[in-house]
Structure formats: C-alpha cells, structure tokens
C-alpha cells in the first residue's frame, strides 16, 4: 500500500517536472521567434529602401582632428528617385553651404558669397556618405563581414567604409528597431578611435515636400537672404594646416599682393610630399551664374571642397583656400584641408 502511494507520487512529480521543462522550452522558442537575425534585419533594410519615397532629417555632427573638436549641423532632404538637398553649417548662417542634386546634376552653393558650382558627378554614390540613409544601408549590405548586435531598442552594425584613407576606415551604425531609421553613426580610424560622431535628432519618413525644394535658384535666393550677404566682410585671417604629412617640410610662408591687388598668404611645403596653399579673403560673386566644372565635390568635414587630380579649393570663415600638389594623393589633400584651422601669428 505504501509502495503504491510512493509510486503514484513519483509519477505525479515526473509529470509536473515534464510540464515545467516543456514550458521553459516553449518560452525560449517564443523568445527566439521575437529576435531578428542579422540576415533578417539586412533583408528588412533592403525592403525599406525599395518602398522609401522621401525623408527629411536633422543631425548634429562632431569632427575630431587631433586635439581639435568641431561641431556642425546638417539638414537633409531626399526624394525618390535621386533628388537630394544637404544643408551644412557651423551654427552661423553666413557659413552655410548646400549640396543639391536634381535632374540637371549636382550643385554646390555658398550663398553668403553668391557662388554656385555645377558638377556632372556620381555624388553621392561614389563614396560612403555618413549622413545619408541610403549610403549607410549600402555599406551594411555590401560588407559580408559586418558585425551585428541587437540590444534593447536598437540594432548595431559595425562595417567597413568606402573611403581610401585609414582615418575613416570603419563605422558603427545604430538603427532604431521600430522603423530601422538611423540614430547615430560613429566613423572610426583603423584603431577604432572615433573621428566623426553623428547623432540624428529627428527622422521623418515619406514626407511631402513643397514645390521648389530641390530648385537651385530658389534655394540660393532664400539662403542669401538668411546669410545677409551685405554684412561686414570677415577680416583677413591667416590659417595653417595642423596635419603632419611625412615627407613634407615647411619651406616658407609669405604675405603679398596678387596681380589683382588682393591680399594673399602663401604657405609652401617641399619634399616628396610637397604642396602649396594659397589663402585669400572671400569675395561676393557679382553674378549668380553657376560655374561649370569637371572637378568633383568632396566632404571636408562640414565644408564642401572642389577637387581635381592635383588641386583642392574650399571656403571657410570668410577665407578662400587653394591647395595644389602633384605629390599628395587626393585623400592626403583632403586631410590637410580639414586640418587648416591653426591661426598663423604674424
């Protein structure tokens, strides 16, 4: 009698234990079903790009160059199939620049100087663009060795970038799980030091834009009014590069007048990586006609440069800069240009 009771009790305990284990396994299976794999997320990103008709976003950007840290703002408009407007500034309207891409090509606008340049360019598809959603998704899809992590409300991808320089060799992209929009991008060098940090403060999917959003002349007119081009010009401020290029030695620096009687400053470096920088005070263009150029627009942090095989021109802080070299690579020229921030003591 006692043996029979113990046997029944043992059987009941085994059944309860089996039900408990089955419940634990079921919970694990259900939890696993709720977690998307890296392949699932990449597939969802591809579908999102296919269905995306437009977006509007704002971002704050921090750039680090040695001990110098600079902060800029970006605002981006995109409309399918290939319309872009990117507005970049350092918080001052007179330093605003724009990139506009429409059916006529790619335009770079510097409203305060009444200058605009027209490019037949592959921008933005020729390189990674850390503030463009499409570029981030393409970098994720193309990197077969991308690292993936799912945590709390976000997905994290660490991928290679499409830059030649080792200073911008990888990036960590944070996406919102809810709608897969970007929240943050950290662009790093080969040692995982963060060189660029972008935080998207808002991301509006599929908005309707007003007519003229991507019209060059309309944007130029509006931006010129905001920039107050009639304001007092910036003083002549001499700047020097802080980036050290191995094989480049400072030869001389000299302030003089050019053929037009304009004040200019020349810095010359010699050696197997020699280059020259010419600095002049920015002037407001008397005409708003677009300058046609076969050069390419390039990112210089939040400034937009105009690059050929052996030269790079850009404007910053009321000054125009022209770097020329037949010994520097295009990426080396960009790194030098980004570092032109140290004021020269005369």
* 198 is a domain residue: yes
Tell me: do 187 and 167 sit in the same domain. Answer: yes
- Count other Cβ atoms within 10 Å, centred on residue 39: 9
183 pLDDT tier (thresholds 50, 70, 90): very high
Do 219 and 260 lie in one domain? The reply is no
pLDDT value of residue 4: 55
Sign of CA dihedral 8, 9, 13, 19: positive
| Confidence tier at 316 by pLDDT (50, 70, 90) | confident
Proportion of the chain above pLDDT 70, given as a percent:
86
Are 82 and 148 in the same domain? yes
- Calculate the dihedral angle through the C-alpha atoms of 227, 217, 52, 38, rounding to the nearest 10 degrees: -50
Residue 279's nearest CA partner among 230, 217, 228, 342 is 342
Contact 79, 54 (CB under 8 A): yes
Q: Is residue 13 part of a domain?
A: no
Q: Assign 95 a pLDDT band (cuts: 50, 70, 90).
A: confident
Q: Are residues 69 and 119 in the same domain?
A: yes
**What per-residue confidence (pLDDT) applies to 320?**
92
Which of 207, 227, 247 delimits the end of a domain?
Answer: 227
Which residue range is the domain that position 333 belongs to? 239-281+308-343
Residues 214 and 251 in one domain: no
Query: In this structure, are 140 and 267 located in the same domain?
Result: no
* Percentages of the chain per state (helix, strand, coil), in multiples of 5: 25, 40, 35
Q: What is the CATH number of the domain that holds 77?
A: 2.50.20.10
Which DSSP state fits 244? -
User: Up-side HSE of residue 23: CA atoms within 13 Å toward CB?
Assistant: 6
202-225 average pLDDT score: 93
- Specify which of 21-35, 105-119, 178-192, 284-298 reaches the highest per-range mean pLDDT: 178-192
Residue 346 pLDDT greater than 50, yes or no = no
- For range 47-56, the mean pLDDT: 96
Domain boundary residue, one of 185, 204, 227 = 227
* pLDDT-wise least confident of 23-32, 38-47, 64-73, 316-325: 23-32
Q: Which of 194, 227, 260 is the last residue of a domain?
A: 227
Mean pLDDT confidence for 235-255: 89
Phi, psi of 106, rounded to the nearest 5 degrees: -110, 130
Does 144 reside within a domain? yes
CATH number at residue 270: 3.30.200
- The verdict on residue 9 lying in a domain is no
Q: Give yes or no: residues 161 and 271 share one domain.
A: no
Q: Are residues 80 and 188 in the same domain?
A: yes
- Looking at residue 5, its pLDDT comes to 46
Based on the structure, what is the number of domains in the chain?
2
277 within 8 A of 340, measured Cβ to Cβ: yes
Q: 250 and 218 share a domain?
A: no
Indicate whether 25 belongs to any domain: no
User: How high is the pLDDT of residue 177?
Assistant: 96
Residue 217 within a domain: yes
Mean pLDDT, residues 206-212 taken together: 95
Q: Where are the beta strands (DSSP E) in 17-176?
A: 54-65, 68-79, 83-89, 97-102, 105-110, 115-119, 147-151, 154-160, 170-176
Check residue 260 and give its pLDDT. 80
Cα end-to-end distance, the chain, whole Å: 109
Residues 182 and 258 in one domain: no
Q: Does 61 share its domain with 198?
A: yes
Is 267 a domain residue? yes
Q: When comparing pLDDT for 313 and 344, which is higher? A: 313
> 132 with 76: CB under 8 angstroms?
yes
Residue 74, in any domain of the structure: yes
55 and 151 together in one domain: yes
Mean pLDDT of 55-81: 92
How confident is the model at residue 94, as a pLDDT? Answer: 67
């Amino acid at each position: 009698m006692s043996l029979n009771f113990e046997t029944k009790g043992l059987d009941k305990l085994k059944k309860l234990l089996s039900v408990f284990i089955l419940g634990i396994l079921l919970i694990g299976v259900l939890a696993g079903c709720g977690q998307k794999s890296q392949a699932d997320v990449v597939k969802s990103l591809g579908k999102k790009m296919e269905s995306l008709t437009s977006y509007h976003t704002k971002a704050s950007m921090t750039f680090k160059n040695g001990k110098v840290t600079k902060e800029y703002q970006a605002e981006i408009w995109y409309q399918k199939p290939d319309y872009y407007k990117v507005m970049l500034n350092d918080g001052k309207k007179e330093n605003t620049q724009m990139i506009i891409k429409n059916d006529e090509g790619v335009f770079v606008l510097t409203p305060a100087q009444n200058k605009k340049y027209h490019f037949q360019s592959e921008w933005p598809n020729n390189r990674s663009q850390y503030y463009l959603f499409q570029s981030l998704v393409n970098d994720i899809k193309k990197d077969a060795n991308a690292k993936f992590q799912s945590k709390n409300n976000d997905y994290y991808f660490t991928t290679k970038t499409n830059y030649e320089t080792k200073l911008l060799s990888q990036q960590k992209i944070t996406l919102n799980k809810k709608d897969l929009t970007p929240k943050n991008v950290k662009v790093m060098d080969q040692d995982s030091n963060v060189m660029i940090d972008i935080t998207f403060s808002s991301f509006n999917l599929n908005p309707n834009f007003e007519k003229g959003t991507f019209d060059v002349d309309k944007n130029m007119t509006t931006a010129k009014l905001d920039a107050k081009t009639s304001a007092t010009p910036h003083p002549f401020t001499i700047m020097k590069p802080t980036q050290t290029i191995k094989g480049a030695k400072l030869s001389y620096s000299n302030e003089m007048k050019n053929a037009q009687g304009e004040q200019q400053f020349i810095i010359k470096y010699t050696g197997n990586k020699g280059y020259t920088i010419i600095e002049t005070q920015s002037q407001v263009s008397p005409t708003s006609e677009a300058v046609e150029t076969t050069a390419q627009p390039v990112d210089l942090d939040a400034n937009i440069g105009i690059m050929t095989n052996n030269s790079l021109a850009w404007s910053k802080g009321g000054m125009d800069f022209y770097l020329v070299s037949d010994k520097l690579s295009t990426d080396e020229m960009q790194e030098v240009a980004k570092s032109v921030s140290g004021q020269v003591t005369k």
